[in-house]
Amino acid sequence: MDIKDFVKEALLQITAGVKDAQEQVRDSGGYVNPSVVASAPGKAEMAHFALMESGQNVFLVDFDVAVSVAESTEGGAGAKLAVASLFSLQAGGKAGATSESTSRIKFKVPLALPLDSASKQAFDAARRRDDEMVNR
């Protein structure tokens, strides 16, 4: 799997999982990714990275990916960067030299998750009340 496909699928599945869980958790009296104004003092690094104007929390998704680079002289193929896998299938009977190296890449991707709709309504109402008090 290419790194771009791995990262894309990971972020899509995280977002879809949060979205899918929100209604069920709300039915149990909780919230998944509620809209919040601030984290507890000293705990912001554990809770979220930032807060968007819309009230969405921005989290840093940590990736630590093992990648392999395989170079082959067969058929003029060049190097290809891919997520390392545990199993590798080799096609037999082809002439050519192949070399492969594995490395790790660590990076973070900011991700604003979908807000719980009930929490978002409460956040927006509180913001309107605050704005009205400032404008009086």
Per-residue pLDDT of the chain (136 residues; tens, 9 = 90+): 788 888 899 999 999 998 999 888 888 888 888 776 555 555 545 567 777 777 777 888 888 888 777 766 565 555 666 667 644 444 445 555 566 778 888 888 888 888 888 878 887 888 888 888 888 7
Distance in angstroms (rounded) separating the CA atoms of residues 28 and 6: 33
Q: What is the pLDDT of residue 88?
A: 44
In contact, 37 and 51? CB cutoff 8 Å:
yes
Q: What is the pLDDT of residue 89?
A: 43
Backbone angles phi, psi at 114, to 5 degrees: -65, 135
Q: What is the pLDDT of residue 74?
A: 60
Q: What is the pLDDT of residue 98?
A: 61
To 5 degrees, how large is the angle CA 21–CA 116–CA 24?
30
52: Cβ contacts below 8 Å, ≥ 6 apart:
58, 112
Q: Is the pTM of this model over 0.75?
A: no
Amino acid occupying residue 102? T
